[in-house]
Chain A
Amino acid sequence: MDNENLKSKVAEYTAKVEKASAKFPERKNLEYNRLYTPLDIEGMDYLRDLGLPGTYPFTRGVQPTMYRGRFWTMRMYAGFSTAEESNKRYRYLLESGSTGLSCAFDLPTQIGYDSDDVISEGEVGKVGVAIDSLADMEILFDQIDLGKVSTSMTINAPASVLLAMYIAVAEKNGIGPEKLNGTIQNDILKEYAARGTYIFPPKPSMRLITNIFEYCSKNVPNWNTISISGYHIREAGSTAAQEIAFTIADGIAYCEAAIKAGLDVDDFAGRLSFFWNAHNNVLEEVAKFRASRRVWAKVMKERFGAKNPKSWMLRVHTQTAGSMLTAQQPENNIVRVALQTAAAVMGGTQSLHTNSKDEALALPTEDSVRVALRTQQIVAYESGLADVVDPLAGSYYVEAMTNEIEAEALKYIQKIDDIGGAVVAIEQGYIQREIQESAYKWQKEVENDDRIIVGVNKFQIEEKPVEGLLRVDASVGELQKKKLADLRAKRDNVAVNAALAALESGCSDENVNLMPLIMDAVKTYATLGEICGVMRKVFGEYQAVATL
């Protein structure tokens, strides 16, 4: 059929259905059509825009064989209470077929306070495991072979300290840093914009990050030194296009900082990784994943002049959307997670965490975690979705949406460039305000019934109280305090003080890479709070802009 003929047929169709049209609310933002035809992807050039899997611009995936080579890493985010409790959960997950670990730390750990700090009261062991020193880290990974497992750690402001502890635990078990595989989140910019566990101001934070890039490129070559995260930006309320746009803008800022610090782009870019959210709108999400790979490949090749193809690849971990789970009729969340899993897999993720049905209510129980992991295994082994590389390529809809999300993201990145880059855009509150606008719009849509959430604003039932939720024992705080008191009494405090003094003088000299000094300090069993305390003293603390 020639294009003119098709155009008139499509126009005829559009006129006929126009009257019945009630646009899907979620489509308002990107103005998706009802029907897609070859007209919507006119001008698309297969090799230029899609290419083959494993080749530039990686729209179809970063590896040539994708899941025909091996499945994504099934990596369940877990951690609560003490290192002892969390170690048990990790070993349970590995026995159940998890293929990687992912550590959740409690808020005091994430913000660089010890469990016995007054500010930590009530928070110890709540949203993750409490780690105060190398001693806790040794227990956390007890009987787990760090030479074999890959470990992701959701740690940002104190990422350098937790990474140093991990390397030290491995060394004690005779495993050299060159054998370690894993990821630290280490993405401070999205902490300022969306997640909130910042400590230091942007400048010293960016220095710590580039110090880690440099140290790992020489010593821990297989470590993913950062996980540039859109997940939390989306959880905070952004749209799909904003998620990848703001995150890639953050990625650009990290590259610029590292290059400014004298690193060669190809020395660190291959170890950058990303973190996406998998929301409910399956096809929009698939398009988002595909668009993000294409945008990043172009940024790295054209903007930064990276030469190594590894530097062009956007490798991504995914987590299903916690904010899409409902406290109402929580069993329905199993279905939502299955759809989100399908989106992440058809989008070509490298690893995946699936949320449990009870996560709108509390931390998940062992039983609900098993169902969440089984969801991945069912998608992998039974659904057929993993049998073909990038199965939705060529769909008029998915290709057109991939183009639209890319265009929308590029517009935002341009806007952020005009403002002066992601750091300035965050300092001015621009990114926070954009996210808040989207979150408020979403909430309005739900309250006006323009957007239906099953069980929340339609199909409600009389809810029974949910039983069998996981509760973190309130005595964890006391237990950690006691462990700390023992540690401070037992360790060589002269060595601790010497290491902390060396770190302090290193902090004051911008030309010093802080990683070796932090390594020395953790090995003396200096606590996380002591190490971060020294850095707080020299660097100061970030003062947030409260946007509303």
Chain B
Amino acid sequence: MEKRVRVLVAKPGLDGHDRGAKVVARALRDAGFEVIYTGLRQTPEQIAEAALQEDVNVIALSLLSGAHNHLFPRIVELIRKSGMTDVLMIGGGVIPDSDIPSLKEAGIAEVFTPGTPTTAIIDYINANVK
């Protein structure tokens, strides 16, 4: 049997908005992925550590506080440093369009903004996970 895709849904920073993260986590689980949810207030170090320990294929970051330009690249950096080179990293939340190019440059493969159906996220993971 093929190994199931493992996804870490993570809430970096101090943001408490977890409706989106939980809805996405549920939808991914219903779509057959193995989902680990970190809960709130995770530092980049904690997220990188959890990703390593859980041996995940995908890290899905959710942030609505505006700190994405600081936190997302920091997490990518830590993940790369820990040698997880083939993990797919995606992000979502209230993220202005104008910030997306630089996040992608930093290593976030795709950014999903408000109104995105969960099916679009599922399809994206299926098409891009290594």
Could you tell me the dominant secondary structure of chain A's interface residues?
A: loop
Of the candidate stretches A45-53, A122-130, A300-308, the one touching chain B is A122-130
A96 within 8 A of B: no
Determine whether the beta carbon of A447 is less than 8 Å from that of B19.
no
> Are A126 and B67 in touch, CB under 8 angstroms?
yes
Kindly list chain B residues whose C-beta atoms are within 8 Å of the C-beta of A326: 114-115
**Within 8 Å CB of B96, what residues of A?**
361-362, 469, 471
User: B residues within 8 A CB of A474?
Assistant: 69
Q: Is B35 an interface residue (CB 8 A)?
A: yes
A447 in complex: contacting residue of B15, B25, B70, B118, CB < 8 Å: B118
Among B37, B66, B97, point to the contact of A546 (Cβ < 8 A).
Answer: B37
B19 lies within 8 A of A323 (CB): yes
Contacting pair A122 B39 (CB below 8 A): no
Tell me which of A179-187, A191-199, A289-297, A495-503 binds B.
Answer: A191-199
In the assembled complex, how far is the CB of residue A132 from the closest CB belonging to chain B, in whole angstroms?
A: 15
Identify which of A142-150, A416-424, A436-444 touches chain B. Answer: A436-444
Q: B40–A123 contact, CB under 8 A? A: no
On whether A548 and B26 interact (CB within 8 A), knowing A122-B69, A122-B70, the answer reads: yes
Closest to A466 in B: B97
User: Are A196 and B114 also in contact (CB < 8 A) when A122-B69, A127-B66, A440-B26 are?
Assistant: no
CB distance from B15 to the nearest CB of A (A): 7
Q: Is the interface of B mostly helix, strand, loop or mixed?
A: loop
Q: Which of A123, A237, A443 meets B65, CB within 8 Å?
A: A123
- List which A179-232 residues lie within 8 A (CB) of chain B: 191, 195-197
Closest partner residue, chain A, to B16 (CB atom):
A196
Taking the complex as formed, is A30 at the interface, i.e. its CB lies under 8 A from any CB of chain B?
no
A196 with B13: CB separation less than 8 A: no
Answer yes or no: A111 CB below 8 A from chain B CBs: yes
A360 contacts the other chain (CB 8 A): yes
Interface membership of A340, Cβ < 8 A:
no
Known: A127-B65, A196-B18, A436-B22. A465 touches B38 (CB 8 A): no
For the complex of A and B, list the 6 residue pairs with the smallest distance between their C-beta atoms, beginning with the closest. Answer: A196-B16, A122-B70, A546-B39, A122-B67, A107-B14, A126-B66
Beyond contacts A123-B70, A440-B23, A440-B26: 14 other A-B pairs, Cβ-Cβ < 8 A, are A107-B13, A119-B43, A121-B70, A123-B13, A123-B66, A197-B16, A235-B19, A327-B114, A363-B66, A439-B19, A446-B117, A447-B117, A544-B40, A548-B25
A-B contact pairs, 26 of them (CB 8 A): A111-B14, A119-B14, A119-B43, A120-B14, A121-B70, A122-B70, A122-B71, A123-B70, A126-B65, A126-B67, A127-B66, A195-B16, A235-B19, A236-B19, A237-B19, A237-B23, A360-B114, A440-B22, A443-B118, A447-B117, A447-B119, A544-B40, A546-B39, A548-B25, A548-B26, A548-B35
